[in-house]
Amino acid sequence: MNVQNDLIARNSKFAATFDKPDMPVLPRLRTVLLACADARVDPAHILGLDLGEVIVIRNTGGRVTRSVIEELATLSVLANILTEGRELGFNVILMQHTQCGAQRLANPELQAHLKDSLGIDVSDYAITDQASDLMIDVCRLVTASEIPDAVTVSALLYDVVTGVAQEIASVKSLGEWRSDPVTPGIDKAS
């Protein structure tokens, strides 16, 4: 079976009824969602998203990596330019899920194999406990000074068995996270 031919046929059906040629560049919900690349975790289906509502970034484990931080910083600048400075922030939702394949990255033997054979260090991005890992990722954004204070951050954990997305971290601006004296992993003395 040629998957590409099947997908092109599906696109033909989509294009035949496509009626949104004037969608704005900025997402309608002013939100960027970071999720795992796992095929069982499609945010459009899980969260009922429509075309043009949310920017979705997907990677292994839905983890905040250096490249995700750079992407969010770039999107911040673009949003500021596109709104001529009227919008300084947007929403970032981090979403991980149960039964994630990235949990295998916690295996030291697999980590060593990836480091030796590909030069890739995955140790900081292994999934060990989703709720804790989501809070670590929130802290990675909090300490990323290139992302403006006006950006809000929250976190969800999606259960692949029940279909339920549970809130792990409620919506808070990075400025609020940064000024909170009890935000873990933040050195307030510096």
Q: What is the pLDDT of residues 95-144, one digit of tens each?
A: 999 999 889 999 999 999 999 999 999 888 889 999 999 999 999 999 99
Q: How far apart are CA 139 and CA 126, in angstroms?
A: 16
For the cut 50, the answer to whether the pLDDT of residue 32 exceeds it is yes
Query: pTM of the entire structure?
Result: 0.90
Please state, in angstroms and as integers, the Cα–Cα distance from residue 128 to each residue in 24, 61, 112, 132, 149, following that order. Answer: 39, 11, 17, 8, 29
